[in-house]
Structure 1
Amino acid sequence: MNIGVSGASGNLGQAIVRELQARNNVHKIIAISRTPKSSDGVEGRVGDYDKPETLATAYAGLDKVILIPTSDLRPGMRGSQNEAAIAAAVAAGVKHIVLLSAAGTREQAEPAIGASYWRGEQALIKTAAQWTILRMNYYAEALAQEAQSAAQSGMLTGFAENKVAFVGREDVAAAAAGIVLGEGHVGAIYNATGAKSYTGAERAALLADIVGKPIAFAAIPVDALKGGMAQMGLPDFVINAVAGIQQDFANGAFDVVTGDVEKLAGRAPQDLRDVLAANLK
């Protein structure tokens, strides 16, 4: 069986390729990206979501493919990329398409960051013969990136007290690999989450304990967050994306805990403390 990973040069893509290499010695792995690399047991192919003509060759002969969305935050771009990748995979005759999506995905209009995931899910369900959706909770590694500024200011902020079941990137990768290497996942929508949801105060305390500096959680107005980012010179589409994520936090979109990682990966998800500590060394 030929298994493709589209978006293989990113952090998640590389992690999925590693999982596939570690967990099978039967199937061929094809790593697809704008800057492909071949290695032992892995064939690199050029595939660019912004150049659909490259995807026809990239997806040719694949039995299964994992589609990883880009991090392009420009309104409408990621949704168009998702639709182009799905259309190319369907046209190439890929038997089973696995789409990486986001927890809490629902119908939204641009520029909401979730609109691209909704467009991708709808295109997949409507056009693919066999499909699976893996919705990811918010990355634990992304919380670790916030730790430096939080340690300096002494404050972790959000729009309201909220709960998030942060998931490690390696756990998402293991779950995705489990889908394509296993059976019985066609037509399923899974949620890759951590084992527990953490409040803002709980994650601030966790970060403080790890970095050894006092950090508290504070709810701030939407305008205050946007104004601060504008003063940093960030473009509007980035400001809106960050604000949209924080609004999803406040609305409970990421307060989802499932056993799907353990079911698909064959092991429990990593503890948030362990992921944060590993990334804050």
Structure 2
Amino acid sequence: MKIGISGASGNLGRAIVRELEARGVGEQVVAISRSPETLMVEGETRRGDYDHPDTLAAAYAGIDRLVLIPSVDLRPGVRGRQIKAAVDAAFAAGVPHIVFLSAAGTRRAEVPAMGEAYWTGEQHLIRTASTWTIIRMNYYAESMAEEILSSLDQGVLVGFGDERVGYVSREDLATAVARAVLGEGHAGAIYNATGPALIGGPERAEIASEVLGKSLGYVVIGPEQLRAGMEPLGLPSHVLDAIVEIKTQFVEGYFDILTNDVERLSGRALTPFRDVLAKIAAHAAQN
């Protein structure tokens, strides 16, 4: 069985490839990326660029199960278009089963909303693919850990309200995806990939204070305050929009979901948020 990982050069893609190799099926893996020369894998590498759909048909040829990981491009409308092109290319290449990595709380959305890409992708996949599995990812524990470390000098963590989020470890998610790809009985399933607990803003600050040994408070601010605070960083407007949208989704309950799907799929206990934060902090201290 040929297992394609589309988006293999990203952090999640690399983690999935490592997990498949650890399970002894590395030679069956086809790592697909717009920069395949950066990949060191046991199996095959192929060039497949979401922005150049003509490269995808050849990249997906002969694949039995394809993991489709969206790009990190936050420009309005781009990711939705990329996902549709990838699904069409996989269908044209005769890929029997697509596993799509979507987002928690996905619902109908239109451009320029960031969530449009996941809604568009899910709907197009369901209409087009012969067999599919959707894994809706909660927010990465690693991403929030990095945000916390970047806020240490301010002495506070900020949010738009009590942000209850089921932070999931990237490594736990990668194991769950690998097991789903290798296993049977997942056709037509929609999984919600969460961590082991829901954590609100004040609790997040409490955990960070304990792990990092520095007292951190939690302050509720508004979208315009967040924008004003981040403008000096020189981020593009669409990136600022995406950050505000994610924070808004936090308080609107998009990520206020807790399941045991990742634990069941991965077959192992899940990593607590505090452990992820401790690991990221230790790595940062060494570099």
Q: Quick one: distance in 2 between partners of 1:21 and 1:108?
A: 37
Are 2:124 and 1:120 equivalent residues in the alignment? no
Q: Quick one: distance in 1 between partners of 2:257 and 2:71?
A: 23
Q: Quick one: distance in 1 between partners of 2:70 and 2:126?
A: 16
Q: Which moved more, 1:219-228 or 1:72-81?
A: 219-228
Residues 177-212 of structure 1 deviation map (CA, whole Å, 9 limit, x = unaligned)? 111100000000001101110010111111111121
Q: Quick one: distance in 2 between partners of 1:79 and 1:58?
A: 20
Q: Quick one: distance in 2 between partners of 1:26 and 1:69?
A: 22
Q: Which moved more, 1:25-34 or 1:131-140?
A: 25-34
Q: Is the 8 A contact 2:67 2:100 kept in 1?
A: yes
5 Å-filtered alignment, 1:1-281, equals 1-25=1-25, 28-37=28-37, 39=40, 41-281=42-282
TM superposition shift of 1:27:
6.4
Query: Percent identity at matched positions?
Result: 54
TM superposition shift of 1:149:
2.7
SS at match of 1:66: strand
Normalised to the residue count of structure 2, the TM-score between the two structures is 0.95
Residues 82-105 of structure 1 deviation map (CA, whole Å, 9 limit, x = unaligned)? 111111001100000000011001
Amino acid at match of 1:138: Y
Q: Is the 8 A contact 1:63 1:96 kept in 2?
A: yes
Residues 222-268 of structure 1 deviation map (CA, whole Å, 9 limit, x = unaligned)? 11112222233222101110000000001011111101011111112
Residues 18-42 of structure 1 deviation map (CA, whole Å, 9 limit, x = unaligned)? 1111123386100000111565631
Q: Is the 8 A contact 1:64 1:180 kept in 2?
A: yes
SS at match of 1:94: coil
Task: Give the 3 Å change call, closer, same or farther, for CA 241–25 of structure 1 in structure 2.
Answer: closer
Normalised to the residue count of structure 1, the TM-score between the two structures is 0.97
Amino acid at match of 2:78: M
Q: Which moved more, 1:242-251 or 1:146-155?
A: 146-155
Unaligned regions of 5+ residues in structure 2, if any? 283-287
**Root-mean-square deviation over aligned CA pairs:** 1.3
Q: Is the 8 A contact 2:91 2:129 kept in 1?
A: yes
Q: Which moved more, 1:264-273 or 1:247-256?
A: 264-273
Q: Is the 8 A contact 1:151 1:214 kept in 2?
A: no
SS at match of 1:20: helix
Q: Quick one: distance in 2 between partners of 1:160 and 1:97?
A: 37
How many equivalent residue pairs? 281
Q: Is the 8 A contact 1:31 1:42 kept in 2?
A: yes
Task: Give the 3 Å change call, closer, same or farther, for CA 26–159 of structure 1 in structure 2.
Answer: closer
Q: Quick one: distance in 2 between partners of 1:144 and 1:161?
A: 17
Q: Is the 8 A contact 2:166 2:198 kept in 1?
A: yes
Matched with 2:285 is: none
Q: Quick one: distance in 2 between partners of 1:149 and 1:276?
A: 12
SS at match of 1:253: coil
Q: Quick one: distance in 2 between partners of 1:44 and 1:138?
A: 28
Q: Quick one: distance in 1 between partners of 2:230 and 2:222?
A: 13
